[in-house]
Amino acid sequence: MRGLICGPKCAACGLVLSVWGVIMLSLLGIFFTTHSAVLIEDVPVKKEDIHQDANPPHRIYDLYNKVGNNCFIAAAIYLVVGAFSCCQMRLNKQKHGRQEHHGV
């Protein structure tokens, strides 16, 4: 069948992982863009960002926003992979239906 790249189990696994990735990364993106204090250890802060700025929170907030945007981009990539996996599942169902129809 044309366009069929992976089997039904691989496609289902990709779909489940994609759903989880979209949910997790979207939530992380929201928490980073709202500057959650719990995530400060995951923000790439350097000493220069704190000591050389007249208004230190703005530099740190910009870093939070960059990390949040990266999370949203990764969630979008997971969404594309999930759509691909969904298409593969549909193609596998069509292939399986044709095999039953033809008695194979």
Nearest to 33 by CA among 20, 21, 43: 43
10 within 8 A of 53, measured Cβ to Cβ: no
Q: What is the number of structural domains in the chain?
A: 1
Is 102 within the bounds of a domain?
no
Q: Which residue range(s) make up the domain with 49? A: 8-97
Question: pLDDT tens digits for 1-30?
Answer: 577 888 889 999 999 999 999 999 999 999
Is 26 within the bounds of a domain?
yes
Is 104 within the bounds of a domain?
no
Question: pLDDT tens digits for 23-59?
Answer: 999 999 999 999 999 998 998 888 776 777 677 688 8
Whole-angstrom distance, CA of residue 67 vs CA of residue 96: 43
User: Which DSSP symbol is given to 38?
Assistant: G
**Greatest distance between any 2 Cα atoms in the chain:** 76
Question: pLDDT tens digits for 88-100?
Answer: 999 988 887 766 6
Is 19 within the bounds of a domain?
yes
Is 1 within the bounds of a domain?
no
Is 38 within the bounds of a domain?
yes
Q: What is the pLDDT, as a whole number, of residue 58?
A: 83
Is 2 within the bounds of a domain?
no
